[in-house]
Amino acid sequence: MAITAALVKQLRERTGSGMMECKKALVETDGDIDAAAELMRKQGLAKADKKAGRVAAEGRIVIETDPGSGRTVILEANCETDFVSGGEDFGTFAETAAKAILAHAPADIEALAEIKLDSGESVEEARRALIARIGENITLRRFRLLERGGDRIGSYLHGSRIGVVVDVAGGDEDLARDLAMHIAASRPVCVTPDDVPAAMVDKEREILVAQAKDSGKPPEIIDKMVEGRLRKFLAEITLYGQPFVKDPDQTVEKLLKQAGARVLDFERLEVGEGIEKQEGNFAEEVMAQVRDS
């Protein structure tokens, strides 16, 4: 059967794959477009499996909110390069996954993968198809779904690499956004010192005691030094103790008291945080992808 340009175009629109890949699949299936689409799907899954071990440390943070309930999701989606992270296909996939979380409230990434989309395919099937189309490893790394406990959830995206959502009781929309911006810049670990895990406090105290002993001061003086430094440490890592970025003369705690507000919860995600990136030669990577295709 003759492989016409119209047939290739039809398969491209159906699969989102390149012209040469579509033509090759049609040749192998003697022009049967359904068989060609199925063949490309199988080949795509095989490609996805091959790319699964590659480091995906680039990507974007996506935030989606349900206006009715105020429920908000923040999601990190990853790929291998900045080029793909800024692309429409990757962005659409990440947003679709975030909306699926809002709609179905999965318990974790594994449960998210099984959710069926409006297209009829699962999130996992959509991910693997995107890998086959783009040629990079794509992952959905982590998410947090916040149920509004206060009056509003503020959010802030710094470009597409850092995202924050914060649950605030009292105050107004401007305050909630300012708090989200502060968290993006200052990276607090917890809301208040009472929220800091005991293990973290004990570890820091142990380090401070070891440092103070080298001073040669009496034990009672060392105890005061340690407690003073520990209070300073807790202020630095907690939201309430930090100087407010827009007015460093006051702490966030004082800002909230003036506004009659309080922070109930927050989440800050940064793309690639904690992932060990692989150093490589970009030109060689491009050539390798060309050869693979």
Residue of 76, 48, 29, 36 whose CA lies nearest to 133: 48
Residue 70: domain span: 55-147
pLDDT score of 51: 53
pLDDT at 165: 98
CA 88/CA 71 separation, integer angstroms: 25
**What confidence score (pLDDT) does residue 293 get?**
44
| pLDDT level of residue 218 (50, 70, 90 thresholds) | confident
**To which residue do tokens 């922070």 refer?**
263
Whether residue 92 is found in the same domain as residue 35: no
Alpha-carbon gap, residue 58 to 80, rounded angstroms: 5
Indicate whether 104 and 87 sit together in one domain: yes
Last residue in a domain, options 147, 181, 199:
147
Q: 61 and 136: one domain?
A: yes
CATH code of 132's domain: 3.30.479.20
Q: What pLDDT is attached to residue 290?
A: 46
CATH number of the domain that 30 lies in?
1.10.8.10
pLDDT above 70 (res 182): yes
Cα dihedral 182, 186, 188, 192 in deg (nearest 10): -60
- pLDDT, residue 195, reads 95
Residue 248 CA: distances (Å) to CA of 128, 179, 253, 260, 266: 47, 13, 12, 19, 21
Asked if residue 134 belongs to a domain, the reply is yes
Lowest mean pLDDT among 18-27, 49-58, 169-178, 255-264: 49-58
Between 231 and 56, residue with greater pLDDT:
231
Which two tokens mark 167? 């649950």
Mean pLDDT of the 76-103 span: 95
Residue 47 has pLDDT above 80, yes or no: no
Contacts of 231 (CB under 8 A, 6+ apart): none
In a domain, 92, yes or no: yes
pTM: 0.76
Q: Which of 39-43, 57-61, 204-208 has the lowest mean pLDDT?
A: 39-43
Q: How confident is the model at residue 46 (pLDDT cuts 50, 70, 90)?
A: very low
- At 45, the pLDDT band (50, 70, 90 cuts) reads very low
Does residue 126 sit within a domain? yes
pLDDT of residue 53: 59
In this prediction, residue 282 has a pLDDT band, given cuts at 50, 70 and 90, of very low
Question: Is the pLDDT higher at 284 or at 79?
Answer: 79
**What percentage of the chain exceeds 90 in pLDDT?**
61
Residue 239 has pLDDT above 90, yes or no: yes
What does the alpha-carbon distance between residue 196 and residue 231 come to, in Å, rounded to a whole number?
12
Residue 74 forms part of a structural domain: yes
- The alpha-carbon radius of gyration of the chain (Å, integer) is 25
Compute the mean pLDDT over every residue in the chain, rounded to the nearest whole number.
87
User: Do 78 and 130 have their domain in common?
Assistant: yes
139 or 67, greater pLDDT: 139
Q: Which of 158, 154, 161, 143 is nearest to 61 (CA)?
A: 161
- pLDDT higher than 60, residue 98: yes
